[in-house]
Amino acid sequence: MPTTIERRVRQLEATTGGGNRCPECGNGPDDDNRPHEIVFVDPDKAPPDEWCPACGRPIAITIHMGWGGA
């Protein structure tokens, strides 16, 4: 049985959008299972990483891979 404080926290989270979900980008702590998109681009023209200005979570990240020899 939940305690009084647990019920109050649950009510507060429900009224503010479910806890840690960002009101600007919509990302939350449980978004690791959402679909991702992979796009191959010219390394010299890769866009910069994008971060939400409100919560700081990543919106778009560029992964650089080296295929050439050392």
| Phi–psi pair at 62, nearest 5 degrees | -95, 130
Confidence at residue 18, expressed as pLDDT on a 0 to 100 scale: 53
- Which pair of tokens denotes residue 51? 């971060």
Using pLDDT thresholds of 50, 70 and 90, give the confidence band for residue 70: low
Q: Is the pTM of this model over 0.85?
A: no
What confidence tens digit (pLDDT) does each residue in 7-66 have? 887 777 666 555 577 888 877 766 666 677 788 877 778 778 888 888 888 888 777 777
Three-state SS string over 24-57 comes to CCCCCCCHHHCCCCCCCCCHHHCCCCEECCCCCC
**Which has the closest alpha carbon to 46: 62, 65, 60?**
62
More confident: 5 or 14: 5
Confidence at residue 2, expressed as pLDDT on a 0 to 100 scale: 67
Confidence at residue 32, expressed as pLDDT on a 0 to 100 scale: 63
